[in-house]
Amino acid sequence: MSVPQSARFNIVRKFARARLAQRACRKVVPIIPTNDIIADVNEQRNKESMDEGFCGEPFVDNGELLSSLSPLLFCMKLFGLYFHREHRRRTDDPEWNPTTTTTGTTSARLRVYATIVLVLAWLNVIRFASVFTTRDQFGPLLLTKIMFFAWFALIPIMYTAYYIANHTGKLLKVLTTVRITKDCVRGARLAAVGTTAVCWVSTLTFGSTGAYIIFTDEEDDFLFAPFGTHVKLPADQLRIVKVVCYLWYTLIFPSVFFSQAMSLVLVYLFYSQYKKLKNNFCRAIGEHGQFRDDLAVFRRRHDALTDIAVTSNVKEHPLTLLRNGLRRAFV
């Protein structure tokens, strides 16, 4: 029985198409040059060496910076400016440690305390907004009221900025992830102790001066608004209001000093590390302009410092921190 010629051609065409499809489906293994493998190994080795130190100077442990800033952090906890959230673990988690329960309870109490102080700071602004009356005329008294209102409005803004930084963990992230050298830790300790001492001296000075003005001068009764401006009280009851308001001011007023102290310490940390990076880079340049070191190491060190500074919003103003925090909360 003879097969038609067209059928033979169809069978051959199908067989050839199947062979071509099999060839196309074969896996092509790329050949990686040996130079690229050596470069990747060297880069990984440089990264591991950069985690241990930079230009022959070893980095300190992550907890050493926190311990060096303990005087300032303790004062910030005292006025509700610092806390950190503990991530809860289940009891069936193999990494769960019962000894961390006390630390988690302390962190929760500090967060509740910071929340109460934050609410009191905003209530103080709402209370003092009643200081303005329809009888106000342009003059020294009205300008003084505006000055105190702006000052009282700055305090809750600073509280809110640090509350957001603590709640999101960004402040703790900066203090635990930035890699610094041992001389920077010594400088940070001196900066923390010095700024803390200056803050306490300023707090005691302004507190004693404010107590003298509040309890001896009757012309500044507008500080206790609405009492004294919209609500008239007898002298004995007004004295009780003065004591309560003074204690209120004493709790929230030092936040201006200690929040600025922490900002100065952070600025010192990054300034010292950038300056050390610049000095080491200048020393790596030879007399004829040739670079005698590995440029990738300096680039990675610069990128590491910049990433921590930018992603943690260290360089941003407290108003920007407040705006970004409210945007994340409501959007």
Please tell me the predicted confidence (pLDDT) of residue 75. 94
* DSSP-H helix ranges across the chain: 5-24, 34-52, 62-68, 70-78, 101-128, 140-167, 170-177, 182-216, 235-252, 255-283, 295-311, 318-330
DSSP, res 218? S
Mean predicted confidence (pLDDT) in 257-269: 92
* Sign of the alpha-carbon dihedral angle for 18, 21, 27, 29: positive
Q: Rounded to a whole number, what is the distance in angstroms from the first to the last CA of the chain?
A: 80
pLDDT over 90 (residue 25): no
Choice between 243 and 9, residue whose per-residue pLDDT is larger: 243
How far apart CA 200 and CA 79 sit, in angstroms, is 12
Mean predicted confidence (pLDDT) in 96-122: 77
pLDDT band at 249 (very low <50, low <70, confident <90, very high): confident
pTM over 0.75: no
| Cβ atoms of 160 and 118 closer than 8 Å | yes
Choice between 130 and 316, residue whose per-residue pLDDT is larger: 130
Please tell me the predicted confidence (pLDDT) of residue 104. 66
Least confident of 64-78, 174-188, 234-248, 284-298: 284-298
Look at phi and psi of residue 80 and say left if phi exceeds 0, alpha if psi is from -120 to 50, else beta: left
Mean predicted confidence (pLDDT) in 97-116: 75
What does the CA dihedral 306, 311, 317, 321 come to, rounded to 10 degrees? Answer: -170
Query: Hey, is 231 helix, strand or coil?
Result: strand
How far apart CA 34 and CA 26 sit, in angstroms, is 24
**Residue 100: Cβ within 10 Å count:** 13
- The residue with tokens 């929230």 is 252
Choice between 243 and 10, residue whose per-residue pLDDT is larger: 243
Over residues 123-135, the pLDDT tens digits come to 988 888 888 888 8
pLDDT over 60 (residue 283): yes
Mean predicted confidence (pLDDT) in 26-54: 47
β-sheet bridge partners, residue 53:
58
How far apart CA 249 and CA 244 sit, in angstroms, is 9
**Residue 41: Cβ within 10 Å count:** 10
The whole-chain average pLDDT of the chain stands at: 76
How far apart CA 177 and CA 229 sit, in angstroms, is 51
What is the distance, to the nearest Å, from the Cα of residue 17 to the centroid of all Cα atoms in its chain? 64
Over residues 142-196, the pLDDT tens digits come to 898 888 888 889 899 999 999 999 998 888 988 888 888 888 899 999 999 999 9
How far apart CA 279 and CA 270 sit, in angstroms, is 14
**Residue 271: Cβ within 10 Å count:** 12
pLDDT over 80 (residue 43): no
Please tell me the predicted confidence (pLDDT) of residue 93. 47
How far apart CA 245 and CA 7 sit, in angstroms, is 104
pLDDT band at 47 (very low <50, low <70, confident <90, very high): very low
Q: Residue 121: CB partners within 8 Å, gap ≥ 6? A: 155, 156, 159, 252, 255
pLDDT over 70 (residue 114): yes
pLDDT over 70 (residue 270): yes
pLDDT band at 330 (very low <50, low <70, confident <90, very high): very low
Percent of the chain residues past pLDDT 70, beyond the cut: 71
Please tell me the predicted confidence (pLDDT) of residue 69. 94
| Cβ atoms of 59 and 181 closer than 8 Å | yes
pLDDT band at 87 (very low <50, low <70, confident <90, very high): low
